[in-house]
Chains A and B, each alone.
Chain A
Amino acid sequence: MISLLIEIREGQIKDITYEMLTLAHKLAAAQKQEITSIILSDNCQQYADTIKQYSHKIICVEDPLLANFNTQVYLPVLSNIINDTKPNLFLIASSGFGTDLAPYLAASLNLPLITDIFDLELNPDNMLARRSMYGGKINADIISKSLPAIATVRVGSFEKILASNLLIPNLSAEITKLPFLIDPSILEMSKFIEYGEVPTTGIDITKSDILIAVGRGIKEQKNLAAVEKFAQDIGGTLACTRPIIDAGWLPKDRQVGSSGKTVKPKLYIALGISGAFQHISGMKSSENIIAVNKDPEAPIFSVAHYGVVGDLLKILPLLANRINALKG
């Protein structure tokens, strides 16, 4: 059996759920396994209805205390389910929720965990998972020494089940409701309060047709002025990678990527950006991507349409002059 934890945030099933279902079906077909989807929520039925066509079984645990994600509350519930059902493989999203939960759950149950996988093979007595290391510069195959094993699945690694061309059986899962039994003192340990949003300065980079994005390759804060000027000259908006935000050089609403904004401009110019997965996931759908990087092997070139291998600090001023001349 292959089990997966449905990811729900603020009443919505997150897309990664449908990606995990694709992976589960791929593995299930090869291994003749059944798929069990697990829903923890204050109101399971609506979610069960949406996914029952993709699952052989659904296990629901329903309680107002499960309205929001909480590792400490999920832990006893999922531990019981895993102990009772002994799935070969348990899939969890490699998300803000999943990365909080999965290592804790795996360690509590003494089960092998492989995090942030983008591909996986299930064998009779182990799993082999592919993931990246060194910021995407190296890939690694990792094997769990035993089953059951847990894997967290990188967002964007698989098609959503509807979009995938997998031939999936016509399913209508039987739904099992399990009681919610936890020791209330757990809630004293860890309590959800609310969701918040990062403050904005009024700039919305998702609305701009042209984005000039800078990464660490810009080297110093003072070099940003020239990029800002260039952006103005071509009617674009300045955006950036996370380290530029972390350094306090630009406000948070300029950040592109998984923990920032997802953008789709007509033109995205990436200056001194390595192209880490978390960045690429926020900009890869841009219509035209031009990347300037001094490292010919930078992963950004895997999504760029046009590439320049060179020093942005030399090229930018030359380019800015040419543009102004052309605009004349």
Chain B
Amino acid sequence: MDIIVCMKMVPDTSETEVRVDSTNKDILKVRLIYTTNEADNYALETALLLKEKLGGTVTLISVGPQKVDEVLRMGLAKGADRAIRLTDELFDKGDAWTTAKALAQAISQNKYDLVLSGCIASDDGYSQIGPTLAALLKIPSAAYVNKVEVLDNTKLRIDRELEGGILERKEISLPALLTIQTGTNTPRYASIIGIKRAGAKPLDVFDAAKLNLDAQALAGLTELDKMYMPKVESKAQFIQGSDDEISDKLATLVKEKAGL
């Protein structure tokens, strides 16, 4: 099975302050550490497990600056066969639609049975690019997948996650696109040998011109107007003091509210 995995590099903002920059169109990027988008690690692991079982190839693809090679090399070190990076100013100017168009154009030049993406990017949180890409490739898709079983060479049986812990089980014919949910599997770490080998694996770079895409084809359908800090309407009563004082007050509070 030939599988393509969409990988995005995102800033890790889970434990850092996030501030809007002076353009009001982006966040301040200083001091941020960049990593692979969380869900994409699960998508890659899904691909690697299928390859181990069925043979075939795993190709990684990412739209972004040269820096995303770190994400791609890490994916190659884990066992992917080759990588494609799409880099062009025109890709940065658009929206989710633009990114999906670039991906679709590059992917359609390859042979594939399955395209995987993460279910959501932790920075923009669109949950949009996977199914958009599927529509552009004219293949069926399923979002928020957390289980993939191969029925035969033409069909998958999958579980999708719905609200409240309910799963939707369905069959989908290949070629197809799945967006993979976090927790689907246990993403592996790259081995030392894997990391050594990754450097020799092919990593191709394409710009818009090479993909036959121009500014018009890549124009977004939406536009960011501005970013701003949400108003946190905190009604919380803050308990202050040294750790000891806090613990004293907290213990009294917990005892009262827990009815001990």
Contact = CB atoms under 8 A, between A and B. Distances in A.
Contacts of A255: 165
Interface string B122-157: 111111111110111000111110000000000001
B254 A144 contact: no
Given A97-B162, A318-B243, A71 B141 contact: yes
Contacts of B186: 248
Contacts of A172: none
B239 interface: yes
Contacts of A325: 251
Given A96-B160, A267-B257, A302 B233 contact: yes
A315 B222 contact: no
B125 A307 contact: no
A138 B227 contact: yes
A64 interface: no
Contacts of A322: 247-248, 250-251
Nearest to B252: A326
A134 B10 CA distance: 10
A96 B144 contact: yes
A266 B136 CA distance: 49
Interface string B67-106: 0000000000000000000000000000011001000000
A125 interface: no
Interface residues of A, number: 102
Contact of B165 (A113, A260, A267, A318): A260
B169 A195 contact: yes
B222 A144 contact: yes
A22 to B, nearest CB: 19
Given A195-B169, A196-B166, A308 B250 contact: yes
Contact of B258 (A9, A71, A235, A248): A235
Interface string A245-282: 11010001101001111100011010000100000000
Contacts of A266: 257-259
Contacts of A146: 221
A93 B17 CA distance: 30
Interface string A84-123: 0000000000011101111111111011111110000000
Contact of B227 (A95, A139, A253): A139
A70 B168 CA distance: 10
Contact of B161 (A69, A96, A114, A133): A96
A133 B20 CA distance: 11
B122 A135 contact: yes
Contacts of B226: 140-141
B46 to A, nearest CB: 14
A323 B247 CA distance: 9
B235 interface: yes
B162 A96 contact: yes
Interface in A135-157: 135-146, 155
Interface string B159-177: 1111111111111110000
B163 A195 contact: no
Contacts of A116: 125-127
Nearest to B120: A99
Given A267-B254, A308-B250, A235 B260 contact: yes
B132 A106 contact: yes
Contacts of B163: 95-96, 155, 258-259
B14 to A, nearest CB: 7
B222 A132 contact: no
Interface stretch (A34-42, A50-58, A162-170, A289-297): A289-297
Interface of B: 13-15, 17-18, 20, 27, 96-97, 100, 122-132, 134-136, 140-144, 157, 159-173, 182-183, 186, 220-230, 232-239, 243-244, 246-248, 250-255, 257-260
Interface of A: 9, 69-72, 95-97, 99-108, 110-116, 128, 131-146, 155, 188-198, 210, 216, 234-236, 242-243, 245-246, 248, 252-253, 255, 258-262, 266-267, 269, 274, 288, 290-291, 295, 297, 299, 301-302, 304-311, 314-315, 318-319, 321-323, 325-327
12 contacts: A96-B144, A100-B131, A100-B143, A104-B135, A112-B221, A137-B18, A197-B166, A198-B165, A234-B258, A253-B165, A259-B162, A306-B236
A-B pairs, 8 with minimum CB distance: A246-B183, A322-B251, A96-B162, A107-B135, A112-B221, A318-B247, A307-B236, A103-B131
